[in-house]
Amino acid sequence: DGIKTLKVDDTPLPKSKNLDVLGEFERSKSKKSASFVVVGHVDAGKSTLMGRLLLDLNVVDQRTIQRYRKEAENIGKSSFALAWVLDQRSEERSRGVTIDIATNKFETENTSFTILDAPGHRDFIPNMIAGASQADFAILVVDATTGAFEAGLKGQTREHSLLLRSMGVSRIIVAINKLDTVEWSQERFDEISQQVSGFLSATGFQLKNVSFVPVSGLHGDNMVKRSSEPTASWYTGKTLIEELESSEPMTRALDKPLRMTISEVFRSAQSPLTISGRIDAGSLQTGDALLVQPSGEKAYVKSLELDSEPVDWAVAGQNIVIHLSNIDPIHVRVGDIICDLKQPIGCIDTFTVKVLAFDILMPMQVDVHRGRLHAAGQIVEIPALLDKIKGTELKKKPKIVKPASVARVRVKMGTKVPLEAGQRVVLRSGGETVAAGLLE
């Protein structure tokens, strides 16, 4: 009587092999790996372009494409076939457990690529933000069709570029798409390249990190194979895949304390509590004790999986599946952070962030996004307006911040969330991105 039945976790703790993970990583390196996002205005041809790339690299087979082509023809939309490759893949994924960041992988001879953010998720900016915060580079798809490029520039082309910049992506490959619709006009290609260069440099990109490739995603010109159109012979630069292969991956924060945002939580054969995500910083190995934030609960790494294979360790930049033990699943949610037990990330409800404004900012309600994590909050103060390039103070306590200006703003959230200096956050309001920048 009065005796409570305590639920005791009697799983034996996993044993650590005490590996020198960074040393193991150095020895294991065989292929370069790089991840990227695909962005651009709706209908610019992102899905078609990715479908074509995967087809020409033999990641998806001709039979699958034929089937889609037939189905597409039946409804009188044969051009949709390639875009369906990706839609189909995302559908298959979504039928299982919930996966927020669609992780598509493909390999060429010297590089293993991860496509972050499925282009199928149209206009889903938070998804793109999560992808961009992890990307080594971006493919910006613009539609060369007369009038379409101009419309795109007013639309998402500009917003996506601003977002990429404020999420720290510095390399952009601009795929000037649908050149088949303008007879492979070199003039049109040059005109668009110039305009895009103009606004990318105004946004703060260095043009040495920006390249332009004239392509037709639909027909596959200059994607994996060089265009055989006589009217396209003026282009002698790299194909899209050559541009992808020549992109250097970002240096990863391997020797920093462990940080990983949880992108999925599920049950698996190995464990009632399995999580996955991409390691943002640091490394981990089987047997490690970790801290889950914001719950502040400890857990152990029972085992790890990389590309469905069991592994003993993992490092920053890898997408990993972790089977956890000795923790109640109620303490672990999508968007939470797992981190180093000795150097954990703190949970805060107020922070200062240096942002690039996309819209007018003033004391107002905002949603704070960092990867999968989001929380309601408000701008409570604007300490200073800053110089865009130098970052020096231009004006103290401005009443408002105009679009395209840089400012230091103070944000307070309704709850404490794991956040720390050096992280990038996006502020949204009414479904629109209003600002993005770096936590101070």
Residues within the interface to ligand GDP (CB under 6 A) = 40, 42-48, 79, 83, 119, 122, 177-178, 180-181, 216-218
Smallest separation (angstroms) from ligand GDP to the CB of 75: 13
The CA distance from 37 to 126, in Å, is 13
Smallest separation (angstroms) from ligand GDP to the CB of 155: 11
**Tokens 């905002």 label which residue?**
366
> Between residues 160 and 370, which has the closer beta carbon with respect to ligand GDP?
160
The CA distance from 46 to 54, in Å, is 12
Candidates 130, 137, 113, 134; CA nearest to 206 is: 137
Q: How many alpha carbons fall within 13 Å on the CB side of residue 285?
A: 13
> Between residues 101 and 425, which has the closer beta carbon with respect to ligand GDP?
101
Smallest separation (angstroms) from ligand GDP to the CB of 122: 6
302's tokens: 């029972």
> Between residues 44 and 332, which has the closer beta carbon with respect to ligand GDP?
44
Helices (H) and strands (E) in the chain, counts: 9, 23
> Between residues 57 and 438, which has the closer beta carbon with respect to ligand GDP?
57
Smallest separation (angstroms) from ligand GDP to the CB of 216: 4
Smallest separation (angstroms) from ligand GDP to the CB of 36: 15
Smallest separation (angstroms) from ligand GDP to the CB of 40: 6
Smallest separation (angstroms) from ligand GDP to the CB of 112: 24
Q: What does residue 196 show for φ and ψ, rounded to 5 degrees?
A: -65, -40
> Between residues 180 and 243, which has the closer beta carbon with respect to ligand GDP?
180
Cβ distance 207 to 199 under 8 Å?
Answer: no
> Between residues 182 and 337, which has the closer beta carbon with respect to ligand GDP?
182
Strand order in the sheet with 32-40: 104-107, 111-116, 32-40, 137-143, 172-177, 210-214
The CA distance from 44 to 139, in Å, is 12
Smallest separation (angstroms) from ligand GDP to the CB of 182: 10
Cβ distance 220 to 52 under 8 Å?
Answer: yes
> Between residues 90 and 268, which has the closer beta carbon with respect to ligand GDP?
90
> Between residues 174 and 434, which has the closer beta carbon with respect to ligand GDP?
174
The CA distance from 409 to 351, in Å, is 8
**Tokens 């972790």 label which residue?**
322
The 10 Å Cβ neighbour count of residue 180 is 20
Pairing of strands 172-177, 137-143: parallel
Cβ distance 13 to 300 under 8 Å?
Answer: yes
The CA distance from 11 to 74, in Å, is 56
Smallest separation (angstroms) from ligand GDP to the CB of 39: 9
> Between residues 118 and 413, which has the closer beta carbon with respect to ligand GDP?
118
